[in-house]
């Protein structure tokens, strides 16, 4: 039967039957439906987590908690790690004894914490012993004051004194000790930072104070980083725009001398625009006509008729196109290979310049569906014009790793970085429009036990 054979009006009759019966039909959902919705909402909230949507209260509490933890760690490390002046590489052993007795070396005394103050009178002169291999052992003393009788615990038989100036290089400002007890040394233009492997004896009114700074023995070590890097990525496609991305980093570093080689893995949430074109129809005014409401003959001029009119708008279904944008999320795995050089190091701080390539692999795509609401309009069609992302990108990364040591093994870091992508994210883009990003990494670094050669 073709359409012409369909009984007249029967089609509408069927339509009406279904429309009347099912138009307001309701069906009670099963109990599991809300559980599913609720579970999905929770998951969406977790997956949408980023640093911009944390409530202010959480920010304040979190910051306060971090400050407290760091403070406790600092306090704890300060009161228990007494021998370390430069935690990364140096060690000081200090001992104190009464005049005339063998000095009993106290274990691991941090002079700064103990606040041992040596008198500044001219009679107090540091006496320096250079322990180590017998052949290298030497005693350095000023000409005016002889070395005290008992030898320090690590000193070998004293060797003839050498002029101090000939042994020492100009001290680095960062390594200057701020100990008041060292004023006599400073007065002579020396700093303890230069006196590796040297035992220094002080003649004080309370007795003889001995300090030894041991030359750093560590030449290799490993560390592990865990952190997060929020970054602002700048896209240069048909128009320039920026998006916030988030990377979770787990890296391991090998340190030797002042150099570092670092690798690891990072999980990144990268955001980009989705582009859609929506076609919709709405009833819009396309003009108006003048409608006569009433008319009457002009009482002053019987030949004239006066019309009362009003403008009536005319509507028609008009077709519109609208460009809409969504925010898509892409999940990447990053494999970096970075090389670093230590620019600066002090008791608590260190600064490394890191650079190297990194490869990113697309492992997941979450496309946001467009939602376009036009009151009194009917959406006809939505075209997805979002470009397909390439599976692999590579980029060069340049960063400054600023670390603050909170304890012997633990440090927290701040890492501003710049990354330049060498290939575009999508096939539609030109290479010259490669994006770049700037970010600030935050995290902790755990230093494993040192390896000595």
What are the residues binding other proteins (CB under 8 A)?
Answer: 1, 3, 6, 10-11, 13-15, 17-30, 32-34, 36-38, 40-41, 44-45, 279, 281, 369, 371, 373, 375-376, 378-381
Least distance (Å) between residue 12 CB and other proteins: 9
Comparison of 315 and 371: residue with beta carbon closer to other proteins = 371
The greatest distance separating any two alpha carbons of the chain, rounded to the nearest whole angstrom, comes to: 141
Structure tokens at 347: 């008791």
Between CA 60 and CA 156 the distance in angstroms is 57
Comparison of 27 and 133: residue with beta carbon closer to other proteins = 27
**Beta carbons of 263 and 336 less than 8 angstroms apart:** yes
Least distance (Å) between residue 271 CB and other proteins: 16
Residue 133, strand partner residues: none
C-alpha angle 56/58/62, rounded to 5°?
120
Least distance (Å) between residue 28 CB and other proteins: 5
Comparison of 5 and 239: residue with beta carbon closer to other proteins = 5
Comparison of 27 and 165: residue with beta carbon closer to other proteins = 27
Least distance (Å) between residue 93 CB and other proteins: 59
**Beta carbons of 171 and 153 less than 8 angstroms apart:** no
Structure tokens at 296: 């009457």
Least distance (Å) between residue 427 CB and other proteins: 24
Comparison of 228 and 281: residue with beta carbon closer to other proteins = 281
Comparison of 38 and 388: residue with beta carbon closer to other proteins = 38
Least distance (Å) between residue 375 CB and other proteins: 5
Between CA 205 and CA 191 the distance in angstroms is 22
Comparison of 290 and 319: residue with beta carbon closer to other proteins = 319
Least distance (Å) between residue 287 CB and other proteins: 22
What one-character-per-residue DSSP string does 151-196 give? PPTT--SPPPP--HHHH-PPPPGGG----GGGHHHHHTT--GGG-B
Count Cα atoms within 13 angstroms, Cβ side, for 308. Answer: 5
Residue 360, strand partner residues: 334, 393
**Beta carbons of 175 and 215 less than 8 angstroms apart:** no
Comparison of 36 and 62: residue with beta carbon closer to other proteins = 36
Q: Measuring CA to CA, which residue among 356, 357, 328, 325 is closest to residue 269?
A: 328
Least distance (Å) between residue 432 CB and other proteins: 36
Residue 269, strand partner residues: 246, 331
């Amino acid at each position: 039967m073709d359409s012409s054979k369909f009984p007249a009006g029967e089609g509408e009759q069927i339509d009406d039957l279904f429309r009347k019966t099912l138009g307001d039909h309701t069906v009670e959902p099963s109990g599991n439906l809300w559980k599913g919705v609720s579970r999905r909402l929770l998951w969406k909230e977790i997956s949408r987590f980023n640093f911009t949507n944390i409530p202010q209260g959480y920010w304040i509490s979190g910051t306060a908690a971090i400050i407290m933890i760091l403070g406790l760690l600092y306090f704890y490390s300060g009161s228990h790690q007494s021998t370390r002046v430069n935690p990364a590489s140096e060690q000081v052993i200090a001992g104190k004894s009464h005049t005339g007795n063998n000095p009993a070396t106290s274990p691991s005394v941090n002079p700064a914490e103990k606040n041992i103050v040596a008198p500044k009178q001219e009679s107090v002169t540091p006496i320096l012993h250079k322990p180590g291999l017998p052949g290298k052992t030497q005693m350095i003393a000023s000409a005016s004051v002889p070395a005290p009788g008992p030898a320090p615990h690590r000193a070998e038989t004293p060797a003839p004194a050498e002029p101090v100036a000939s042994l020492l290089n100009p001290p680095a400002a960062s390594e200057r000790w701020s100990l008041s007890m060292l004023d006599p040394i400073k007065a002579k233009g020396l700093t303890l930072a230069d006196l590796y492997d040297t035992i220094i004896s002080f003649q004080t009114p309370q007795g003889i104070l001995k300090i030894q700074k041991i030359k750093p023995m560590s030449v290799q070590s490993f560390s592990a980083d865990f952190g997060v890097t929020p970054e602002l990525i700048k896209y240069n496609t048909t128009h320039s725009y920026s998006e916030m991305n988030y990377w979770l980093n787990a890296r391991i570093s090998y340190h030797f001398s002042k150099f570092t080689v670092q690798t690891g893995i990072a999980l990144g949430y990268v955001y980009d625009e989705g582009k859609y074109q929506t076609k919709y129809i709405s009833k819009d005014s396309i003009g108006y006509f003048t409608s006569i409401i009433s008319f009457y003959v002009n009482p002053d001029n019987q030949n004239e008729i006066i019309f009362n009119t009003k403008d009536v708008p005319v509507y028609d279904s008009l077709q519109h196109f609208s460009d809409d944008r969504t925010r898509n999320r892409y999940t990447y795995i990053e494999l970096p290979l970075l090389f670093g050089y230590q620019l600066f190091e002090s008791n608590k701080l260190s600064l490394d310049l890191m650079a190297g390539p990194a490869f990113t692999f697309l492992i997941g795509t979450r496309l946001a569906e467009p939602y376009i609401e036009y009151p009194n309009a009917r959406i006809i069609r939505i075209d997805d014009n979002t470009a397909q992302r390439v599976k692999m990108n590579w980029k060069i990364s340049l960063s400054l790793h600023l670390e603050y040591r909170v304890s012997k093994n633990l440090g927290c870091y701040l890492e501003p970085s710049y990354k330049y992508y060498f290939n575009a994210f999508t096939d539609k883009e030109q290479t010259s429009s490669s994006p770049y990003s700037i970010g600030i990494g935050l995290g902790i670094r755990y230093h494993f036990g040192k390896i000595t050669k």
